[in-house]
C-alpha cells in the first residue's frame, strides 16, 4: 500500500517546485483560459444578490483595507478580498468545473492568489499562472483521492477541498518554504467545509468564498509560525478520515508531472451546473437543425440520475431556483436564452409566458445507463414528427474544450450584463489573455482591468 504521508509530501513538493518553463504548452493554454474565464465570471458576479449582500456584510464588519476584490473598487482586508472575489465568482454558477470530481477549483484558488497579488504588489503574470496551476493541481488531486461517498454524503467538494488549493497558490506567491507550505495546507484542511444541502441558495457561493479566504488565511498563519499538525490530511483523525471512508493516496501522485488535472477542467458555456449541460446542448443542437421554438409540442429528457437529484426544482421563487430547475433551463434554451446570463433569473422567467408554458410540457426521466456527460433529448413537434439528439460529450468539457472565440463571447456577455461597453470588455479580455507577459497582475483587481 502506498504510504499516505509520502503521497502528501510528494504532491506538496511538486507544487512547491513547479516552474512555468516546465509546463507543457497545452497545459499552459488551458491555465491561461482558466484565468480569463474565472476573472470574467468574478467580474460578472459582482452585482449578483449573493455578492451584493456579502459586500454589505464586509462594510459593516471592517474598516478600510488595502486590497481590492475583483470587480469592486472598495479596499478591504486581504481575507475579505479573497472572500468577496470567491463569492462573486461562484454566484452565477458559471465558473469552471473539474469534470471527474465536480470541483470548482479555479475560483477559490485565484480569489486567494489575486488578493496576495494586490496586497504584496509586483506579482508577474508568470508567477500568478504558476501559483494558480500548482494550487489547482493539488486541490483536484485531493478531490480525486476521496471516493464518491464524500460527495454523496453531502459535502460540497469546492468548500471542502478548494481551500487547500487556495493555500498552495497563496503560499507560492508568498514564497513560503517547504515546512511553511505543509503547515498552510494543514490549516486549510482543518477549515474545509460546505454542504450540498444549501445548493439553490446564497450559501452555496459562500462555500467558495470561504475556501478562498480560508486558504489565504491558512498561508498567512503558517508564515507567522502558527503551527498545526503537519498530518492534517492523512492523520488518524484528520481530513481524509473525516471526509471519506477509505482514501486513495495514489491519486495524489500517480502521473504527477505528466498527467495534468488542468486538462481535465471544463469551462462552462451555460451559466448553470454542468450536470444540466448535456440536456441543454442536445436542445441547442435540435433547434440548430431546423426545429423552431414555436413548433414544439413537448420535450422529453433522458438524463443521468444526478440531474434529477440536483436540478429537480419546480418552484421559481428565486434566481437559484431557475438554475436548479432542468425543465426551466431547457425551456429557456428552447426560446434561445440558453447562454444568456441575464435570463437566468426568476423575474425574467416570470415575465416570459412562453417559457412558463413550455415548462409544463417538458418531462424528465432518470437513467443510470447514462453517464453524467450524456443525455437524450426528444422534441415532438406540433405536426406529430419527432427529432432526437443523443449527447455523448458536452461543449466546454475536457473532451470538447472551449475555443477562444466562444470564451470571448462568454466574457463579453458577462461584462455587457453589467452595462460595460463592448470596447472596455474587449480591452479587459485582451489584458487577461496576455496575462503570461504582464509585469503586475494587480490590474485584475478592482475595476482597473477596464481602464484605458
- The partner residues of 319 in beta bridges, in order of sequence, read none
**Mean pLDDT for the stretch of residues 366-380:** 96
The single-letter DSSP state of residue 23 is: S
Q: What is the pLDDT of residues 130-164, one digit of tens each?
A: 999 999 999 999 999 998 889 989 999 999 999 99
* pLDDT of amino acid 288: 87
Cα 243 to Cα 89, 143, 439, distances in angstroms? 25, 10, 40
Contact between 267 and 396 under an 8 Å Cβ cutoff? The reply is yes
Residue with cell 455578492: 51
Residue 290's pLDDT band (cuts 50, 70, 90): confident
Q: What is the pLDDT of residues 199-233, one digit of tens each?
A: 989 999 999 999 999 999 999 999 999 999 999 99
For the cut 70, the answer to whether the pLDDT of residue 302 exceeds it is yes
Nearest-angstrom CA–CA distance, 195 and 235: 23
* Domains along the sequence of the chain with CATH: 4-266 (1.10.4100.10), 274-391 (3.30.1330.120)
- Angle, vertex CA 77, rays to CA 72 and CA 78, nearest 5: 90
Q: What is the pLDDT of residues 59-115, one digit of tens each?
A: 999 988 999 999 999 999 999 999 999 999 999 999 999 999 999 999 999 999 999
Give the H/E segment covering residue 181.
helix 178-191
* pLDDT of amino acid 239: 97
Reduce the DSSP state of residue 70 to 3 states and report it: strand
CB atoms within 10 A of CB 59: 12
pLDDT above 70 coverage of the chain, percent:
100
Q: What is the pLDDT of residues 1-24, one digit of tens each?
A: 579 999 999 999 999 999 999 999
* pLDDT of amino acid 1: 52
Q: What is the pLDDT of residues 317-343, one digit of tens each?
A: 888 899 999 999 999 999 999 999 999
Nearest-angstrom CA–CA distance, 104 and 81: 18
Query: How distant is the alpha carbon of residue 34 from its chain centre?
Result: 10
Q: Which residues of 320-356 are buried (b: 16+ CB within 10 A; e: fewer)?
A: bbbbbbbbbbbbbbbbebbbbbebbbbebbeebeebe
Amino acid at each position: 500500500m502506498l504510504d499516505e504521508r509520502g503521497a502528501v509530501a510528494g504532491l506538496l513538493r511538486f507544487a512547491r517546485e513547479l516552474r512555468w518553463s516546465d509546463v507543457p504548452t497545452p497545459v499552459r493554454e488551458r491555465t491561461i483560459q482558466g484565468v480569463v474565464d474565472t476573472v470574467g465570471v468574478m467580474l460578472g458576479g459582482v452585482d449578483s444578490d449573493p455578492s451584493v449582500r456579502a459586500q454589505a456584510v464586509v462594510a459593516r464588519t471592517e474598516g478600510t483595507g488595502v486590497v481590492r476584490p475583483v470587480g469592486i473598487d472598495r479596499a478591504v482586508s486581504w481575507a475579505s478580498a479573497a472572500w468577496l472575489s470567491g463569492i462573486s465568482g461562484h454566484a452565477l454558477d458559471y465558473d469552471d468545473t473539474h469534470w471527474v470530481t465536480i470541483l470548482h477549483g479555479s475560483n477559490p484558488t485565484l480569489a486567494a492568489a489575486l488578493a496576495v497579488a494586490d496586497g504584496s504588489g509586483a506579482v508577474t503574470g508568470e508567477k500568478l499562472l504558476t501559483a494558480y496551476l500548482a494550487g489547482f493541481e493539488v486541490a483536484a488531486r485531493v478531490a480525486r483521492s476521496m471516493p464518491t461517498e464524500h460527495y454523496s454524503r453531502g459535502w460540497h467538494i469546492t468548500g471542502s477541498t478548494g481551500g487547500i488549493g487556495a493555500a498552495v497558490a497563496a503560499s507560492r506567491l508568498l514564497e513560503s518554504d517547504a515546512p511553511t507550505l505543509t503547515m498552510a495546507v494543514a490549516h486549510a484542511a482543518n477549515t474545509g467545509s460546505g454542504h450540498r444541502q444549501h445548493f439553490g441558495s446564497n450559501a452555496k457561493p459562500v462555500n467558495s468564498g470561504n475556501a478562498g479566504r480560508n486558504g489565504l488565511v491558512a498561508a498567512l498563519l503558517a508564515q507567522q509560525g502558527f503551527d498545526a499538525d503537519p498530518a492534517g490530511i492523512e492523520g488518524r483523525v484528520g481530513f481524509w478520515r473525516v471526509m471519506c471512508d477509505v482514501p486513495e493516496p495514489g491519486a495524489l501522485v500517480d502521473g504527477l508531472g505528466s498527467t495534468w488535472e488542468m486538462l481535465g477542467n471544463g469551462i462552462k458555456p451555460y451559466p448553470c451546473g454542468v450536470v444540466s449541460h448535456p440536456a441543454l446542448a442536445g436542445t441547442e443542437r435540435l433547434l440548430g437543425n431546423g426545429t423552431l421554438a414555436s413548433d414544439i409540442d413537448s420535450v422529453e429528457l433522458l438524463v443521468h440520475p444526478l440531474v434529477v437529484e440536483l436540478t429537480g426544482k419546480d418552484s421559481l421563487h428565486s434566481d437559484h431556483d431557475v438554475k436548479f430547475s432542468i425543465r426551466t433551463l431547457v425551456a429557456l434554451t428552447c426560446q434561445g436564452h440558453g447562454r444568456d446570463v441575464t435570463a437566468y433569473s426568476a423575474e425574467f422567467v416570470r415575465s416570459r409566458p412562453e417559457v412558463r408554458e413550455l415548462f409544463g410540457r417538458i418531462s424528465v426521466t432518470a437513467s443510470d445507463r447514462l453517464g453524467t456527460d450524456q443525455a437524450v433529448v426528444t422534441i415532438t413537434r406540433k405536426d406529430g414528427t419527432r427529432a432526437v439528439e443523443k449527447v455523448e460529450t458536452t461543449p466546454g468539457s475536457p473532451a470538447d474544450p472551449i475555443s477562444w472565440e466562444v470564451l470571448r463571447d462568454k466574457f463579453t456577455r458577462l461584462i455587457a450584463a453589467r452595462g460595460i461597453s463592448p470596447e472596455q470588455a474587449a480591452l479587459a479580455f485582451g489584458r487577461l489573455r496576455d496575462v503570461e507577459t504582464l509585469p503586475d497582475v494587480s490590474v485584475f483587481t478592482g475595476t482597473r482591468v477596464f481602464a484605458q
